[in-house]
Amino acid sequence: HMLEAALAAGVAAAGGDALLGGVLPTPGAALLVRRFGLDLAVVVSASHNPYEDNGIKFFGPDGTKVSDDQERRIESLVDRESAESSAVRGSPAPGRVRELHGAGGDYLRELELRFRDLDLRGLRVALDCANGATYRVAPEIFRRLGAEVDVMGCDPDGRNINRGCGSTHLDPLVARVTEGGHDAGFAFDGDGDRVLGVDRSGAIVDGDELIALAAIHLRRAGRLPKDGVAVTVMTNYGFHQAMDAAGIAVATTPVGDRHVLAALLERGWALGGEQSGHIIETGFVPSGDGTAGALLTLEALAGRDLSERDAMVKLPQRLVNVEVADGSALASADVVWSTVERESEALEGRGRVLVRASGTEPLVRVMVEAPDPAECEAVAGRLVEAVERMLRPG
């Protein structure tokens, strides 16, 4: 609320009008900025992180996140070195700050309209709302559609968001689903743009599986434009095999829902997302939407149990973080890349390898997917050895 007040005061001081939407999932802001014809939507959020990591997301008038270049320009305006040059010139008449009453209800009605044909009567669902932005909207839309809902993580106090709950802490939801005899469970992150599932046996259903279910369902229903879907480099190879078998084209992007959305808009496609649980259906909102993603999953299942999902078979995966002196040196590490090429050729058509430098830590991430866990481990070992030989600290 302090950040909200500061932002609103700044907008008004510069002559703009600030509408306060209150607690609202990130996709709700992306949806409503278009509906009300606003110039910008600003979301105060720590996403899936603790509240201490609160930051700011900006969405343009079309409901999409502002570009990297626009973000850099905004950051330069708040840099102390440029504060004087970025100050508002003159003394504009102050704008107004007012409450946007019913914003949550508007978003809820949009969800209800999108899933108006979905009947969840007889379904027992557990929802973990991460003590975050979905704590009102998600349980309400599930109930309106007929589900029996068991909620957890629905008592936010501004500090307990994502704390031991939500999509990054699935154990409590797994226990609730298995012990309570629920048909399925869904966990959202703090700002509501991600979702992961849990089936009645306690198995975790990640974004890859949720997107695969949705893609095959939408294609069969004739609602997957140009029969294409966009995912990231972290998506399991089993997803690609499943899409190939279903006749669905796949675009692969760098990690980040921003890149997935860009690929969708560029190609005129409508569905994409990430293993972490971002699911984007551009026909509804150009943003990851956890609540809509959960409902889309149930729509795709068409009355089947989540444990009966059969859209894809995940390949065994081995992920190793290798500490290095300088991650940027990976680009010129010839021994590493020759090893990557050799292992990739050996796995062609059966699996894959991915070696990339972390963007935030002195690490190189090595990922291998193969049909057999032992082969997965062996390939990862050879790649890690090559990385350590070339880039180990000291």
- Residue 368, classed as helix, strand or coil, is strand
Nearest to 199 by CA among 315, 294, 318: 294
Distance CA 273, CA 279 (A): 4
Token pair 């999932």 is found at 25
- Residue 156, classed as helix, strand or coil, is coil
Give 158: exposed, middle or buried? Use CB within 10 Å, 0-12, 13-18, 19+.
exposed
Write out the H or E segment, with its range, that includes residue 59. strand 55-59
DSSP-H helix ranges across the chain: 2-13, 26-35, 68-78, 83-86, 103-114, 137-144, 171-180, 207-220, 237-246, 257-267, 290-301, 334-347, 373-391
The maximal CA–CA distance of the chain, rounded, in angstroms, is 69
Q: What DSSP letter does each residue of 93-126 carry, written as one string?
A: PP--EEE-TTHHHHHHHHHHHHTTT---TT-EEE
How many C-beta atoms surround the C-beta of residue 257 within 10 A? 23
- Residue 202, classed as helix, strand or coil, is coil
Nearest to 110 by CA among 2, 31, 192: 31
Distance CA 367, CA 335 (A): 17
Concerning whether 358 is annotated as a catalytic residue, the answer is no
Q: What DSSP letter does each residue of 224-293 carry, written as one string?
A: SGGGEEEEETTS-HHHHHHHHHHT-EEEEE-SSHHHHHHHHHHHT--EEE-TTS-EEETTTBSS--HHHH
Amino acid at 131: N
Amino acid at 345: E
Catalytic residue among 47, 167, 276, 287: 47
Write out the catalytic residue numbers.
47
